[in-house]
Structure 1
Amino acid sequence: MSQDPSTEVVARELRGNILLVMINNPPVNALGVAVRCGIVAAIDAADADPAVQAVLIIGTGRNFIAGADIREFGKPPLPPSLPDVCNRIEACSKPVVAAIHGAALGGGLEIALAAHYRLAATDVKLGLPEVQLGLMPGAGGTQRTPRLIGAKAALDLMLSGRHMGAEEAHALGLVDRLGHSNDILADGLAYTQELLATHAPVRRTRDAQALSDRQANRASIEAVRAETGKKSRGLFSPLKIVEAVEAALDKSFDEGLRIERELFLQCLDSAQRAGLIHAFFAEREVLKAPETRNTKPRAIAHVGVVGGGTMGAGIAVAVLDAGLSVTMIERDEAALARGHAHIEKVYNGLIAKGRMTTDAKAANLARFVGSTSYDALAPADIVIEAVFEDMAVKQAVFAELDRVCKPGAVLATNTSYLDIDVIAASISRPADVVGLHFFSPANIMKLLEIVVPAKVSADVVATAFELAKKLHKVPVRAGVCDGFIGNRILAAYRMAADYMMEDGASPYQIDQAVRDFGYPMGPFQVSDLAGGDIGWATRKRKAATRDPRARYVQIADRICERGWFGQKTGRGYYLYPEGARTGTPDPEIEAIIDAERARAGITPRSFTNEEIMRRYMAAMINEGANVVHQRIALRPLDVDVTFLYGYGFPRHRGGPMKYADTLGLPKVLADIREFAKEDPLFWQPSPLLVELVERGANFDSLNKSE
């Protein structure tokens, strides 16, 4: 059969009376314009050729179609549009079968839904994850999916963005047949021949009847709408998805498609979509550190963990979950038993929630050993120190590691603030020393700051990135300074919050303003969760070097002096009666704040929530700019990813530096200069911010120049 050379990414071949249509657009068969053109041309050819009795669509390589072509994001769309392609498939006068293997995501699944019959291999990942990019299915996904599987299951798939496997998809009716071999082509041809032999009709998804029980589907939509309104507070696209599925119930198919398209274009125009797309690309870009280019990582099979506290145990769980062996070192048998108990507690909690089996727990713990002797670390490929945040303590640990670890072992510290160059200089092999700053709880939090000291070998940094990949963490390269990227910036905006608290805003109003912005928790709630004693210890450590001209708010010290360290002591900024996880405001805290204002000679004034966020974000952005300016972070996007994955920054805003670009850097700089009239020492504009405003540039321009 002849073929237009412009559509070579979609190959056509007549197999008897079946037109085989093969999507061949490596690496993932993305739906670029050439693929869209090729599919339409293939369906047109099938309709026009009397020798063709059915069409079979498959993907070559490892996937069916993994979604849109990300190279086309943000560019004017070229025809044919994906809705037109799907409608053309569905309108074909001959049966069209989609034989799916690997990923069929987003537009890839919408293509399959437009086919008349669907066969799925056992390895499929089916999903409509557009919500994660601030979008919604826009090529009939919100109309065809509920017609096949009902409103409740369709909304779950679209609002979660999750992947569905073959068995679940078959049970729900999303696919019609499961493949039984590893040969998707053979299975697809056999199924299509069977359909022809039984004179199976053209069966259009638009006519499917899963929405026929209107009352049950209406109830599902209303329940999901209420839940989504609470869960996705402030997010734009989730409620648009609910609205589109409601149109599938109430309107004709063609009217539903029109409404879907209208809502899709609204999502496309939203600032949230831009923020989420930025987050999507930034997460991929952070993997590109200079040391990882053309550098082979060292082998990792056996990991040592020094310290069995909450952090050490969390790191051990993350490593065990990755299928690696762990040797934990503690100072005595009692401490080792507590470390083992911490790990057991994590696994028992997962078992109780049905997210782990007892067999899986046993298999993980079979790879765990504990010891009170550093000599047990002799076979370790990498050792992660997770002991108390004290330089002398950490140097003592590293002296032992220097003594017992094999040549080529990577020696990592989990310090949050301390100077890793000093730690590295204290042993005979500084080139093997790297920072691995995990975030608590280490088995759950995705961020891993990889801190690069001056003398570290490139292959050690590459090994750290490889370990992050094995642990399913999002790694961000950071330079050495007090607090690295995240905690250094945190110190600045937390100081701004403390100043506002002393000046008249209550900690509860500040927390509320930050939550309304999109954070899950405010700064004072976070302090209570982490433990106020941690920040107190840091402040005492820095007291000797603090600039005597700098304003110092003592409210947190007064609270800590009373032994109120947050959730673990039952009170901090909030009260936590009887072990409650959610705090309630404490009148005694307000009294402490009033007394401190009087001591400092401050007459309190009121702040609006908008004024709170202007100062909070200006401090965060300004220090973020300093971190980039000083090359602690390579690019602004490294700051963004740090805050998205380590500090709960609302993903739809893209990160603090992307948010600054959204506001406009001249506005941010004007705010900082206005606040500097009150406190010129704290509100010093970052040289980078000033330079970018003078050039008319933004932070994103620096992401592209690296």
Structure 2
Amino acid sequence: MTVTNGIDVTTSDAFAEITLSRFADGLWLSAAQRAALLAELASLEIGRAGVLLRAADRVMARHADGGPDLPSPDDQEKPTMADLCRAIEQAPVPVFVLLEGMVAGAGAELALAARWRIATPGASIAFSAGRLGRISGAGGTQRLPHLVGAEHALRLLIQSRPIPAPEALVIGLVDQIVEADTQAEIVAAARAWAQANARLMRKATGTADAKAYLQAIKAVRATAAPDSLAMALADCTEAALLLPAEQGLALEATLAAERDAMPRTLALAHMARAERRAAQMPEALQQIKAGPVVRPALVGASPQMTALALMALVRGLAVTVLEPDRNRLVAMLQTIASRQEAAVQGGTLSAAQRDADWARLRTVVDAAEIARADLVIVASDTAVPESRPAVPLLVMGRGPLPEGALRLVVWGRVAELGLPANCPAAAAVQAMAFLRRLGQTVVLTGVQSPLGISGRLAGAGAAALRALQASGVPPDAIRAALVDFGVPAPAMPQAELGPLLRLMQPQEIVNRWLGALANEGARILASGLAQSASDIDLVAVFGLGLPAESGGPMYQAEQRGLMILRRDLVQWAAEAEVWRPVPALDALVSAGRGFSGRLSQG
């Protein structure tokens, strides 16, 4: 066995097995690892029966979370992924790939380049570049249509959703599924199948019906915008049928470079980085082991508690609700029932699932009844009940925090969690895992705040809308500008319309609103409430509803330039205090720094 740059090579019976390990920084298939794999492939003897590629951790993706590959300088280093995939495709011996878990991005491209793909039943494959509006550039748009046809290829590339291995087998993306009890047995079964089929050449059936192939492309083009990802992928898929292989690959590479430079792609990549950063466990908590939450208790019947109860129920948890006020409790239960019924009518929830969820919902009026709960969340303006010391206690609202409790602010898909200095580590880990299980994006805050980042941003945004109305801009014009920008129709705050009608361009309306958010964001960052500007963008997008392709208010401000932002704010400040530049922003502009720099208090 030889080991080089995370490439483990073992040989037996004229068959080679290459295992790709993930580096300590979590990355997989870096330039160094690509070079090492390329060297191993080049050294294979022509007489060898074949080679089986697999991932050591069963995750065949650049990142362990299986998320989309982000544009990186490493992409341009030789050998590129395109070089590696071409080498696998043209290797002197047949290359098989074993897919055991999540296969995404670069891993999916590598799998396409192999002659045969062997998978376990639990494996799934995702061409995740489309989530960022990207084209991988490694040749997938040329190889995939030859395997599965244009219709399936375009669906997989545009939607970027994982396809389970059994479905992939049906459409021709996977060639064989192997089942076994242990990983060693899985690898042995894959090797046996590979050795038995090493001399066979796979026939590309995806292009057999050229008429149907071109019809699928035509259907996508009929609804795609001229500069959309779908249109670019349709062009690539057409090239896979009509152009020689090298020309098709060259077209894909050109379109991939164009899309990587698009503002929308750059903004989506920023958001993906922000999500990945927020998902990282703080270093002090990384070694803490804590069991999962299975019996949460919700104290209070607020709308936020109703939403949390629904999230927990749909994920199979037993939920206890403590609410002494019968009227509030009945209103909460009616809301839960109506939303479940709407889900049943909409086909997203079966009647049996609804009944099972309802059976796991327990209501009590005595605090002693939540003694068995393994996590307690207390609503705003609600008395905090006594709980066991080891149980995570999450408190919403302005009230004082009991010893060891965590401050929770929920807004949209974001859960802001304030960890006090004396917070029990196991409680913090359990709380974060529970909120993520509910589908929330967890953002850790540096100081305790009842409003949180989301409340502060929402307040600044509302103040900007009031100021616009007071200056004479019609509410309908404000609403239309924000909706066109991609924000759900905002509820306009109560404000008196100025005495004179003021016509304002939609872009200026949006800029003023974003400027107020960025200005407040600078204040939030300086106060220590937010740990990074990207956390503020996450809250703005997943909490307040800004479009992901905007990148958030802090990203937008960076792209326009902080000097431009400050200039605009100075001009607008004569109309309303919300636009007066905060001292922290002045300091950044004076120092020529961006929001990524640490801010002083102010």
Settle same-fold status: TM greater than 0.5.
Answer: yes
Q: Among residues 409, 413, 416, which one is paired with 1:449 in the alignment?
A: 416
Name the CA shift for 1:218/1:603 in 2 (closer, same or farther; >3 Å): same
Match of 1:193 in 2: 195
Question: CA shift at 1:338, angstroms?
Answer: 4.3
Is the Cα contact below 8 Å between 1:431 and 1:457 reproduced in 2?
A: no
Is the Cα contact below 8 Å between 2:404 and 2:420 reproduced in 1?
A: no
Match of 2:405 in 1: 433
Name the CA shift for 1:470/1:690 in 2 (closer, same or farther; >3 Å): same
Q: Among residues 450, 460, 464, which one is paired with 2:431 in the alignment?
A: 464
Aligned residues: 590
Is the Cα contact below 8 Å between 2:299 and 2:322 reproduced in 1?
A: yes
Q: Does the residue aligned with 1:286 lie in a helix, a strand or coil?
A: helix
Between the aligned partners of 2:503 and 2:168, the Cα distance in structure 1 is 55
Q: Does the residue aligned with 1:200 lie in a helix, a strand or coil?
A: coil
Question: CA shift at 1:152, angstroms?
Answer: 2.2
Match of 2:570 in 1: 673
Question: CA shift at 1:79, angstroms?
Answer: 0.9
Q: How does 1:52-131 map to 2 (within 5 A)?
A: 52-66=48-62, 73-75=72-74, 77-131=76-130
Q: Among residues 229, 232, 236, which one is paired with 1:244 in the alignment?
A: 236
Q: Among residues 385, 395, 401, which one is paired with 1:413 in the alignment?
A: 395
Question: CA shift at 1:623, angstroms?
Answer: 0.6
CA deviations over 1:252-274 (Å, ceiling 9, x no partner): 33222111100111122223333
CA deviations over 1:493-522 (Å, ceiling 9, x no partner): 2221222233233223222322333x2424
Is the Cα contact below 8 Å between 1:317 and 1:343 reproduced in 2?
A: yes
Between the aligned partners of 2:42 and 2:100, the Cα distance in structure 1 is 25
Q: TM-score, normalised by structure 2?
A: 0.89
Q: What letter matches 1:185 in structure 2?
A: V
Between the aligned partners of 2:514 and 2:283, the Cα distance in structure 1 is 30
Q: TM-score, normalised by structure 1?
A: 0.77
1:369 aligns to 2:365 (yes or no): no
Is the Cα contact below 8 Å between 1:140 and 1:260 reproduced in 2?
A: yes
Is the Cα contact below 8 Å between 2:375 and 2:391 reproduced in 1?
A: yes
Is the Cα contact below 8 Å between 1:99 and 1:184 reproduced in 2?
A: no
1:9 aligns to 2:6 (yes or no): yes
Q: Among residues 15, 19, 23, which one is paired with 1:18 in the alignment?
A: 15
Q: How does 1:156-555 map to 2 (within 5 A)?
A: 156-182=155-181, 183-196=185-198, 199-201=199-201, 203=202, 208-229=204-225, 237-287=229-279, 288=281, 292=285, 300-308=293-301, 310-331=303-324, 335-386=328-379, 394-395=381-382, 397-398=383-384, 401-402=385-386, 405-415=387-397, 419-421=398-400, 424=401, 430-439=402-411, 445-452=412-419, 460-478=427-445, 479-481=447-449, 483-517=451-485, 519-524=486-491, 554-555=495-496
- Rg larger in 1 or in 2? 1
Q: Which structure dedicates a bigger proportion of its chain to helix?
A: 1
Is the Cα contact below 8 Å between 1:511 and 1:521 reproduced in 2?
A: no
Q: Does the residue aligned with 1:139 lie in a helix, a strand or coil?
A: coil
Question: CA shift at 1:50, angstroms?
Answer: 4.3
Alignment gaps of 5+ in structure 1: 425-429, 440-444, 528-534, 536-552, 556-595
Name the CA shift for 1:456/1:113 in 2 (closer, same or farther; >3 Å): closer
Name the CA shift for 1:66/1:124 in 2 (closer, same or farther; >3 Å): farther
Between the aligned partners of 1:80 and 1:494, the Cα distance in structure 2 is 51
Between the aligned partners of 1:463 and 1:65, the Cα distance in structure 2 is 27
Match of 1:653 in 2: 550
Name the CA shift for 1:8/1:75 in 2 (closer, same or farther; >3 Å): closer
Q: Does the residue aligned with 1:210 lie in a helix, a strand or coil?
A: coil
Q: What letter matches 1:383 in structure 2?
A: V
Match of 2:137 in 1: 138
User: Percent sequence identity over matched residues?
Assistant: 26
Match of 1:567 in 2: none
Name the CA shift for 1:211/1:65 in 2 (closer, same or farther; >3 Å): same
Name the CA shift for 1:688/1:317 in 2 (closer, same or farther; >3 Å): same
Between the aligned partners of 1:69 and 1:468, the Cα distance in structure 2 is 22
CA RMSD of aligned residues (A): 3.0
CA deviations over 1:531-563 (Å, ceiling 9, x no partner): xxxx7xxxxxxxxxxxxxxxxx634xxxxxxxx
Between the aligned partners of 2:102 and 2:20, the Cα distance in structure 1 is 13
Is the Cα contact below 8 Å between 1:23 and 1:29 reproduced in 2?
A: no
Q: Does the residue aligned with 2:136 lie in a helix, a strand or coil?
A: coil
Between the aligned partners of 1:512 and 1:26, the Cα distance in structure 2 is 49
Is the Cα contact below 8 Å between 1:323 and 1:364 reproduced in 2?
A: yes
Q: Does the residue aligned with 2:179 lie in a helix, a strand or coil?
A: coil
Is the Cα contact below 8 Å between 1:25 and 1:35 reproduced in 2?
A: no
Question: CA shift at 1:672, angstroms?
Answer: 0.5
Deviates more, 1:266-275 or 1:140-149: 266-275
Between the aligned partners of 2:315 and 2:204, the Cα distance in structure 1 is 43
Name the CA shift for 1:420/1:334 in 2 (closer, same or farther; >3 Å): closer
Is the Cα contact below 8 Å between 1:661 and 1:700 reproduced in 2?
A: no
Between the aligned partners of 2:71 and 2:367, the Cα distance in structure 1 is 54
CA deviations over 1:276-299 (Å, ceiling 9, x no partner): 222222223224558746666687
CA deviations over 1:133-164 (Å, ceiling 9, x no partner): 34212111111112211222222222222111
Name the CA shift for 1:58/1:466 in 2 (closer, same or farther; >3 Å): closer
Q: Does the residue aligned with 1:355 lie in a helix, a strand or coil?
A: coil
Match of 1:37 in 2: 35
Deviates more, 1:336-345 or 1:151-160: 336-345
Between the aligned partners of 1:13 and 1:339, the Cα distance in structure 2 is 61
Between the aligned partners of 1:92 and 1:458, the Cα distance in structure 2 is 51
Q: How does 1:498-647 map to 2 (within 5 A)?
A: 498-517=466-485, 519-524=486-491, 554-555=495-496, 596-597=497-498, 602-647=499-544
Q: What letter matches 2:311 in structure 1?
A: A
Question: CA shift at 1:334, angstroms?
Answer: 6.0
